[in-house]
Structures are given as C-alpha cells and as structure tokens.
C-alpha cells in the first residue's frame, strides 16, 4: 500500500510541504504547488499505511492515537497546519466520495432519541471529572469564552461570556424562572442565580455533571434558587420566563432542529426570551469529521446558520438578535491546550497514553477548525412576542456594563 499512499499524497499536498518516512525507511517529500507550512511524519507499520490509503480522514486520528503515525521532528500542530488546508481543498478521490456520502446520509441517520442522546452525552461528558479540572477554568465552562480584549485570562473571559449572555436574556428583575438546557457542571445556572436573583432549573443528560452541579449549588448556598435534574428538554411540561442553552445545540442533530425550536416555543412564556449559543460554520451545511464523530462527539454536528434559521422560520418564533463570534473559540482552545499540556502526566495517570494522544488531537484539531476551517460560534436571541425585547440593543450594553462594574468591584 505504500505506492498507493505515495500516489495519493502527491495529489493531496497542494499547500506547503510534507515529508513522510514510511515503515520500510523510505523517505518521500511532497512539495505543494503553493506555499504553506512544513512538517514531517513517520509511519511505523504497513497496516497504518494501508489504513491511511483507504480511509485517511478516520485513519489519521486512529493511527496517531495508536502511536503508529508520529510527528517527526515537529509538533502535531505543525502537521495539522499542513494537512488541514489540503483537506479543505480536497484532492483525495476516495475521501471526496466518502465525504459526499456522509453529507447525504446526515438526514438518513437515526434521530437523537432520548436513549441515543443520553448515550452520546455519556461518551464525552461522563469521563472522569478530574480530567476537566485539569484544563478548564475554575467554573468549568466547557464552551467558548468571550475575549473582550486580547490579554484576558481564561477565567475572566469565561466570566465575560456569562455576563454577555445574561445581558441578552434581559434579566431585568429578580425571581425570573430560567431553564438552562444542557447546564454542564452548573456554572451558568449558579451565576444567574447568584448575580441576578434568577430561579434556575438546569437540566443535563450527564450523570457526572449532574452530581457536580448539585454539590456546587449546596456548597454555595444557592440550592434554594437553583435545581439540577437529569432530564431531556423534550420531556419538560412547564413554562419558563427565560431559556438559555450554551453548547448543547451542536448535539441536537440536523433532523431535530425544528423539533428543538418548537420545544423552545412551548417552554418559554409568551413574553419570554431565549438565548441559544452554539458552535457553527460559516460556509454552509457540511458534515462532521468521522474521527471526531466516532471518538469525541457521537451524534454531534456544528450547524450552519442557513440550516438553523430555516428550521427556526417554521416555528413562528422571532429571531430578535444574532451575533457571530469568529476567533473566540480558537483563543479558548489555545488556553485549554496550554493547561492540558501542563497536566499531561496527570491525564496519563487517569487514563493512558492512547487517551492522552486522542484528547491532544481533539484539542489541536478543534482550535485549527476555528482558525482555518470556517468554524465559529453564533448566539440567537429568540422571542415569541414581536415586542418581547426593546427595539434597540442599548439595554444589552447597559446591563452588561453594569454587571461588569459589579464584577470588577467584587474582584
């Protein structure tokens, strides 16, 4: 298979230079027609060469996890800076065909049923809780931070993210009932209760997250304002003044977008406000990388605004504000990577070398997805009533500035 892979790489590398040392010691250098980054890899087995020739998008990640494809005199990031721009261009016929099949089959895949959704969430979020403490901020915000200026710390940028979202929720009086769909470890819900006097119900499908969130609420003396439950949003029956969902919409599934927004409409009061924060893509509908789908986020998909808004338009809800964040998640992931690398040995002690390489690849590839693959974040503010929020955005800025002043005074 070495000759087949050699032919594929000659066609594939258009930007930059990739040097490959094959399992028999042969070295080939693939020089692209256009300038770009330089990197080198070593392939240690013939089985790895065969896998890379047949299913490169999946096999690269698997072989890196197994230690049979390794960067040679450079970093994993260096390798991906060469690989990803060439992936974006296309050029591998077998991968182009399988990619088109994956795209078409998106709508044919099983729905994210209650059982399937629970299983998908457990795959990633029910990992050992100590893992996330090693690279997240102190509030365990496992979503994009908001960098108001370049030199913000990760913790401050996550505080800014919550403050920014709270301003869009229009929490203009204490006692508002808020539903947090996909509440994670409880940081957003606890912040809304502590800083805004909201009564928050946080729901998650992760047992690990639920236990941590409940413990935090009790320890902070906020369990009279905040409750956390192991629930799917589709099973709730009562209405709320506000709904917030951060980093959950990516797990809904293409076929469920209209269902999701119809449930938002059912769950939010007539004069209520909902804010949905999601990873997205700027270049239209696409597909999830098969390695990410298999090992990191089963059932996950980053939606384009075009397919998201097409579903929202069918519900009769008002889209009252839409904001796109471009490089904020790249900066967030850069912080996570530094922290992960500093704790690499602790992660290895929790799991093993294969897991460390898997998570490293996930973090590096994700950062580059936001830097060079058109990924971004979007926030949608939604109401049922045309007059659900003021006609100008001044109230958002005023609320955010007021809370920022309180946060700075408290700090």
Cβ atoms within 10 Å of 243's Cβ, excluding its own: 25
- State the DSSP string of 17-58: EEEEE-TTS-EEEEE-SEEEEEEEEEE--HHHHHHHHH-HHH
In whole angstroms, what is the distance from residue 179 CA to residue 171 CA?
A: 13
Please give the structure tokens belonging to residue 218.
Answer: 């009790």
Of 233, 225, 273, 226, residue with least CA distance to 252: 233
Backbone angles phi, psi at 35, to 5 degrees: -65, 155
Report domain extents, the chain.
2-108, 114-410
> Residue 175 burial (CB < 10 Å; 0-12/13-18/19+)?
exposed
Secondary element (H or E) of residue 177: strand 177-181
In whole angstroms, what is the distance from residue 325 CA to residue 157 CA?
A: 13
338 Cβ neighbours under 8 A, 6+ residues apart: none
- The pLDDT value given to residue 221: 97
Backbone angles phi, psi at 383, to 5 degrees: -135, 160
Q: What is the pTM of this model?
A: 0.92
State the DSSP code for 110: P
In whole angstroms, what is the distance from residue 347 CA to residue 353 CA?
A: 9
Cβ atoms within 10 Å of 241's Cβ, excluding its own: 20
Buried b (16+ CB within 10 A) or exposed e, 126-154: ebeeebbebbbbebbbbbbbbbeeeebeb
- The pLDDT value given to residue 102: 47
> How confident is the prediction along the chain (411 residues), in pLDDT tens digits per residue?
799 999 999 999 999 999 999 999 999 999 999 999 999 999 999 999 999 999 999 999 999 999 999 999 999 999 999 999 999 887 555 454 445 444 445 555 556 666 556 555 555 555 677 899 999 999 999 999 999 999 999 999 999 999 999 999 999 999 999 999 999 999 999 999 999 999 999 999 999 999 999 999 999 999 999 999 999 999 999 999 999 999 999 999 888 999 999 999 999 999 999 999 999 999 999 989 999 999 998 888 999 999 999 999 999 999 999 999 999 999 999 999 999 999 999 999 999 999 999 999 999 999 999 999 999 999 999 999 999 999 999 999 999 999 999 999 988
- The pLDDT value given to residue 404: 97
Question: Tell me: domain 114-410, CATH 3.40.50.150, correct?
Answer: yes
Q: Which residue pairs from 43-49 have beta carbons closer than 8 angstroms and sit at least 24 positions apart in sequence?
A: 43/68, 43/69, 44/68, 44/69, 44/70, 46/1, 46/2, 48/23, 49/1, 49/2, 49/5, 49/22, 49/23
- The pLDDT value given to residue 101: 47
- The pLDDT value given to residue 410: 87
Residue with token string 């990388």: 289
Helix (H, G, I), strand (E, B) or coil at 242: strand
The length of the chain is 411
In whole angstroms, what is the distance from residue 99 CA to residue 404 CA?
A: 45
- The pLDDT value given to residue 115: 59
């Amino acid at each position: 298979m070495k000759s087949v892979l050699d032919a594929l790489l000659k066609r594939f590398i258009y930007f930059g230079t990739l040097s490959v040392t094959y399992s028999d010691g042969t070295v080939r250098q693939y020089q692209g027609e256009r300038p770009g980054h330089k990197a080198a890899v070593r392939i240690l087995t013939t089985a790895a060469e065969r896998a890379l020739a047949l299913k490169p998008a999946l096999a690269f990640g698997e072989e890196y996890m197994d230690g049979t494809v390794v960067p040679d005199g450079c970093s994993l990031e260096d390798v991906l800076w060469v690989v990803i721009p060439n992936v974006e261009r296309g050029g591998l016929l077998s991968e182009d065909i399988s990619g088109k099949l994956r795209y078409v089959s998106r709508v044919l895949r099983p729905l994210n049923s209650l059982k399937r959704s629970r299983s998908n969430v457990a795959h990633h979020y029910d990992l050992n809780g100590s893992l996330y403490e090693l690279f997240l901020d102190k509030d365990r915000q496992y979503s994009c931070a908001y960098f108001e200026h370049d030199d913000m710390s990760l913790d401050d940028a996550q505080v800014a993210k919550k403050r920014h979202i709270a301003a869009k929720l229009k929490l203009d009086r204490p006692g508002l009932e808020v539903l947090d769909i996909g509440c994670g470890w409880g940081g957003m819900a606890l912040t809304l209760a502590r800083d805004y006097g909201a009564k928050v119900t946080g729901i998650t499908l992760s047992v690990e997250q639920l236990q941590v969130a409940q413990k935090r609420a009790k320890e902070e003396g906020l369990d009279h304002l905040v409750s956390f439950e192991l629930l799917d949003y589709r099973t709730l029956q009562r209405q709320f003044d506000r709904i917030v969902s951060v980093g959950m919409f990516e797990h809904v599934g293409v076929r469920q977008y209209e269902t999701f927004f119809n449930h938002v409409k059912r769950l939010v009061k007539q004069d209520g406000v909902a804010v949905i924060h999601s990873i997205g893509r700027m270049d239209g509908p696409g597909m999830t990388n098969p390695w990410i789908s298999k090992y990191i986020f089963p059932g996950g998909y980053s939606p384009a605004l075009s397919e998201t808004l097409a579903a929202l338009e069918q519900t009769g809800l008002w889209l009252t504000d839409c904001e796109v964040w471009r490089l904020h998640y790249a900066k967030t992931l850069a912080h996570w990577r530094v922290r992960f690398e500093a704790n690499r040995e602790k992660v290895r002690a929790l799991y093993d070398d294969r897991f460390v390489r898997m998570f490293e690849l996930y973090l590096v590839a994700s950062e580059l997805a936001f830097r060079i693959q058109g990924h971004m974040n979007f926030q949608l503010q939604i109401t049922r009533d045309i007059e659900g929020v003021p006609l100008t955005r001044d109230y958002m800025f005023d609320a955010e500035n007021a809370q920022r002043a309180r946060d700075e005074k408290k700090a």
